[in-house]
Amino acid sequence: MYQILEGHQWRHVWVVSDIHGCWQRLMDELKRLHFNPYQDLLISVGDLIDRGPDSVKCLALMQENWFRAVRGNHEQMALDALSNNDFALWTMNGGIWFSRLTNPQKLDAMALLEACRQLPYIIEITCANGLNVIAHADYPSESYERDKSVSRSRVLWERGRLTHLMSGHGEGISGADHFWFGHTPLNTRFDFGNLHYIDTGAVFGSTFTLAQLQ
Could you tell me where the DSSP H helices lie in the chain?
Answer: 23-32, 55-60, 73-84, 88-90, 96-99, 103-115, 152-157, 160-166
Which residues have a Cβ under 8 Å from the Cβ of 122 and sit 6 or more positions away?
1, 2, 3, 70, 133, 134, 135, 139, 155
| Paired residues of 133 in beta bridges | 124, 179
> Is 74 one of the annotated active-site residues of the chain?
yes
Using DSSP's 3-state secondary structure scheme, residue 59 falls into helix
Q: Are 53 and 25 in contact (CB under 8 A)?
A: no
- Phi/psi region, residue 24 (left: phi>0; alpha: psi -120 to 50; beta: rest), is alpha
CA dist 194 and 35 (Å) reads 25
Q: Which of 8, 12, 20, 74 is catalytic?
A: 74
CA dist 20 and 36 (Å) reads 22
Q: Are 170 and 105 in contact (CB under 8 A)?
A: no
Catalytic residues: 74
